[in-house]
Amino acid sequence: MNQDKFLKFREQYPNFIYDSYEILDEGTSIKIIYHFIIEGLTEFTPYYIIDKKYITNKNIDESLFKYLIFNIGMVELISYFKCTCSKNVIIKAGYIDDNQIKWFKKLCYCGLGEFLYVNGIDVSMDDLIDITCTASRCEFNDFNYKGVGNLIPIGGGKDSNVTLELMKVEKDINTCFIVNPKEVQLECAKTAGYSDDEIIKIKRVLDRKIIDLNNKGFLNGHTPFSALIAFVSYLCAYLQNKKYIILSNESSSNEPTILGTKINHQYSKTYEFENDFNEYTKKYFNIDIKYFSMLRYINEFQIALIFSKYKKYHKIFKSCNVGSKEAVWKWCCNCPKCLFTYIMLSPFLYKDDLVDIFGEDLYENKDLLNTLLELSGHAEKKPFECVGTYGEVRYALSLIINKLKDNLPYLLKYYKENFNDENDIKYEYEYNLENNLEDKFKKIICEEIDKYV
């Protein structure tokens, strides 16, 4: 494992510096450049590009605008910090107080939980980093903010498409949001009825030096990308004068990947992070933009039930992370995300419809047996992917097995003969009371589910 590397790099490169950021006027767009330094090793200059046409708020406060950009850098730096895990993180680009330091230490530790686990790194939250700030305190002007409408991040999978359909009742005040958009994401938004001008497309460019360092053996692994999306979407909501940022994180994202621990591939999609983020933004940005997940109230089974009725998305949507790296995003049909999606939809669409979507019957793929065991809780760990709970998977499997009876494909036959777990929960009627939805949003969801159960 990489514990020795971790200790060696921390000794060799003890200081990581968030030195500064630049905001450049590029004519029709704004370019935001971050300057991160690992002393004695290299400097990173990742950047973002935001088209000026997306800035529709006529009352932008310059000091708050800059502070939002600075805060994006506090999350962006995690992608570069992780290659050496330098003990000292020195913030020169802007001011954060002691409470903010604790907040970002927690985000860094919990958001890098998978990274630390996979690399075999044993370190406590207190010992992972020491954050110090050398910048002067900044003061904001007093101003009133009255946002209107919704910003909806689009991932391209079934979840965000369900949110798009649920929120069509407020379509006139909705705007879609995508970082580094892929054709699948754009097609989903357009299928929901949004024009190109109603989709905010943000360009994020990594510094290639981080890839060079990874290739040379420096530390690498999963980072809390959804936390980055949270801060970038908040900036865009402010630029658009929106009131709500509406995510599509379901209740199952709260379940740890390694049960009995806090290690969770989906940490920055959890209810805990959602609450932390809202508390942070309310205190430090002091404007009324609410960040919540529309789907936190329901589970993966209910989402799949609803999505199964939205046939216009079935040949468009994609969730496979392996396939997303191809020139054209596709289902690889051999990974946990593909099998999980297949399982959840199978009680409603099996078999011709699913084969039409995926190109093959994944239940006949013998190579996916161990993945099935991991997804259903019969292996040592859950896959490090955005997948549902063991209970949701078992329930969907039991329904399709009972539906097919004895005419079972390979994976279902194996599962029935060896497990076929009993499940007392009827997931179509289960609601998660830990959520931040206002009553009007809960009503929209309940009315949609009532159509089908």
For 373-394, how does the pLDDT look when each residue is reduced to its tens digit (9 = 90+)? 999 999 888 999 989 999 999 9
Strands 130-133 and 88-91, by their bridges, are: parallel
3-state secondary structure of 244: strand
Residue 171 has pLDDT above 90, yes or no: yes
| Cα 129 versus chain centre, distance | 24
Query: Is 92 within 8 Å of 131 (Cβ atoms)?
Result: no
Structure tokens at 48: 């973002």
**Residue 286 — very low, low, confident or very high, per pLDDT cuts 50/70/90?**
confident
Gap between the Cα atoms of 225 and 78, Å rounded: 10
CA distances from 208 to 36, 42, 215 (A): 13, 12, 11
pLDDT tens digits for 112-133?
Answer: 999 999 999 999 999 999 999 9
Statement: residue 406 has pLDDT above 90 = no
Identify the pLDDT of residue 422.
Answer: 73
Strand partners of residue 150: 174, 244
Residues 6+ apart with CB under 8 A from 418: 378
Is 257's pLDDT higher than 90?
Answer: no
Separation between Cα atoms, residue 437 and residue 453, nearest integer Å: 22
- For residue 272, the Cα-to-chain-centroid distance in whole angstroms is 14
- Bridge partners, residue 177, by sequence: 153, 200
In this prediction, what percent of the chain has a pLDDT beyond 70?
100
Query: Are residues 210 and 75 in contact, defined by beta-carbon separation less than 8 angstroms?
Result: no
Distance, in Å, from the CA atom of 105 to the CA atom of 112, rounded to the nearest integer, reads: 10
Question: Any idea which of 71-85, 184-198, 261-275 has the lowest mean pLDDT?
Answer: 261-275
For 23, phi then psi, to 5°, come to: -120, 110
Q: Which of 193, 286, 292, 282 is nearest to 233 (CA)?
A: 292
How sure is the predictor about 453, in pLDDT bands with cuts at 50, 70 and 90? Answer: confident
Q: What is the pLDDT of residue 391?
A: 93
Q: State which amino acid sits at residue 319.
A: S
| 192 DSSP 8-state letter | T
Question: What is the radius of gyration, based on Cα positions, of the chain?
Answer: 22
Q: Which residue has the tokens 């686990």?
A: 117
Confidence (pLDDT) at 121: 96
Could you tell me where the DSSP H helices lie in 241-326?
Answer: 271-284, 300-307
Pairing mode, strands 42-44 and 29-38: antiparallel
Whether 84 and 38 have beta carbons less than 8 Å apart is answered as yes
**341: helix, strand or coil:** helix
How far is it, in rounded angstroms, from Cα 112 to Cα 313? 33
77: confidence class by pLDDT, cuts 50, 70, 90: very high
> Are 206 and 47 in contact, with CB atoms under 8 Å apart?
no
How far is residue 103 from each of residues 117, 279, 280, 327, measured CA to CA in Å?
21, 10, 8, 38
Check residue 167 and give its pLDDT.
Answer: 98
The pLDDT, as a whole number, for residue 311 is: 97
- Lookup: tokens for 31: 């370019």
Tell me whether the omega of the peptide bond preceding residue 351 falls within 30 degrees of 0, making it cis: yes
Instruction: Summarize pLDDT for 87-103 with one digit per residue, the tens.
Output: 999 999 999 999 999 99
**What CA–CA distances, in Å, run from 123 to 14, 89, 99, 262, 440?**
15, 16, 21, 14, 44
In this structure, what token pair is assigned to residue 33? 């450049």
Beta carbons of 113 and 137 less than 8 angstroms apart: no
| CA–CA separation, 389 and 253 (whole Å) | 8
